[in-house]
Structure 1
Amino acid sequence: LDHAMWFHRPFRVDDWLLYVLETPTSQGGRGLALGRFYDQTGALVASVAQESTVRPPQDTGAPSAPAER
């Protein structure tokens, strides 16, 4: 439904970054994801939040396709 990103300090996108993602809730057809980006020194460089619509898969009655190998 919506998303946002906040930049906390300058960083290089071509350097190593650690992305930590958590989903604290998924209820009533809506989900929330919160993420944090850290640089190599462990400094928090950016944060993200995204709210989404969550729908269970619909049963079409057709058998599932076999997995490709």
Structure 2
Amino acid sequence: MLKQRRVVPIVAQGKPFDSQTMYAVGRELRADITENTVIQEVVRGYLWGDKVLREAQVIVATQK
């Protein structure tokens, strides 16, 4: 039904953090992953065309 209305999920896992479509709910110290990479999607986000219906809530890797 969502596809019929052109609502698509935001792909966040493993992607660089994008403040336009994502909201960081936490950071995790990870030396094995590039900084500002999404390591976990807590709540899935959705786009409707080019509009954000709901931001993806994510946890982002940090090395500091």
| Fold shared per TM-score above 0.5 | no
TM-score by length of 1: 0.27
Bigger radius of gyration, 1 or 2?
1
TM-score by length of 2: 0.28
